[in-house]
Structure 1
């Protein structure tokens, strides 16, 4: 996949994640740990270390090379200020993936999540050849729902007890965005 970095704002670039990002990513997760707790699954202490992130990023690099995941980082001055990931990439007649993202607390309100999601939708279609993306949010995550709706995602339902988040099985609102209706056998 040929996915190039893209400047989203004067000081922020969206680019493919790299194992060398481990220390900066550990710092970003640690800095945003309390703020993200209501939206994230349980994370062991090792998750917040550079070594834990290095192991995770190495797995992601292998999965990216195999075409099963596309991991991006929002980077500002060498600091990671957000993550955006396409996971569960399935080709064939389905041509779909799941979208997840977060932005550092001190970077919210700048439109970075919306700009990043829009850029990833273009890459999902043009570079990966996907037909649709899906995303989910906790029912009370209105900010994330606004990002998805601004980026052309439509609500498609509610999933009871969908994910184990912040210590409990949580209901989620489901969204999708259809990227195109081209025949999957016509060059993708």
Structure 2
């Protein structure tokens, strides 16, 4: 699943590999300020190649177990976005969570919409999932637009659900 998919003429999406740790680290360092208001506070080691390599390894193990899938957007060899399908639950639920971000230099180009659309298709058609969930902050209108444009429905708000940028 998700081995490779061309989203635009110059950007493709594929499963992250263990040798993508340097590209992922570079992307996080380049986008640290851009992502700060959308993500949890991160320890300094998060921004190291060693930490990212370990995270990729853990997520690939979850993929092998049928529990998730780590994906990257690439412009050539440069990683310009990250998408994670996580927490796949089987049985009567058949669901998963979806998280994502796009490099600050690539936002507004429809990449997140194209990637989410393809992930939703593959989750339904290839994994047999019934439901995908994605959470956004109330002021993250760009991400909400992506989700609306790809068929997600807003189901409510969950105050203090997640700690982002140090705030519940």
TM-score over 0.5 for the pair: yes
Could you say which residue in structure 1 is the equivalent of 2:18? 19
Aligned to 1:101: 100
Structure (1/2) with the larger strand percentage: 1
Q: After the TM superposition, which residues 139-150 of structure 1 pair with which residues of structure 2 at under 5 Å, given as runs?
A: 139-150=138-149
Residue equivalent to 1:186:
none
User: 1:132-183 CA deviation, whole Å, 9 max, x = no partner?
Assistant: 10111000000100000001111000001010000110xxxxxxxxxxxxxx
Distance (whole Å) between structure 2 residues aligned to residue 110 and residue 3 of structure 1: 21
- 1:32-87 CA-to-partner distances (Å, cap 9, x unmatched) read 00111000001111111111100111111111100111111001110000011111
State the partner residue of 1:28: 27
Partner of 1:162: 161
Give the aligned partner of residue 92 of structure 1.
91
Could you state the TM-score of these two structures normalised by the residue count of structure 2? Answer: 0.98
**Superposition CA RMSD, Å:** 0.7
Superposed CA deviations along residues 96-142 of structure 1, whole A, max 9, x for unmatched, are 00111100000011100000000000110112110010111000000
Structure 2 counterpart SS, 1:137: coil
Instruction: Tell me by how many angstroms 1:3 deviates.
Output: 2.9
What is the CA–CA distance in structure 2 between the aligned matches of 1:165 and 1:15, rounded to whole Å? 27
What is residue 3 of structure 1 aligned with on the other side?
Answer: 2
* Residue pair 1:74, 1:82 contacting (<8 A) in 2 also: yes
Q: Which fold has the larger relative contact order, with Cα–Cα distance below 8 Å and residues 6 or more apart in sequence?
A: 2
Q: How much has 1:4 moved relative to structure 2?
A: 2.8
Equivalence for 2:51: 52
Say which SS state the counterpart of residue 134 (structure 2) adopts: strand
Superposition map of 1:116-155 within 5 A: 116-155=115-154
Q: Does the aligned pair in 2 maintain the 1:3–1:127 contact within 8 Å?
A: no
Size of the aligned set, in residue pairs, is 168
Alpha-carbon distance in structure 2 between the residues aligned to 1:18 and 1:123: 19
In structure 2, the gaps of 5 or more residues are none
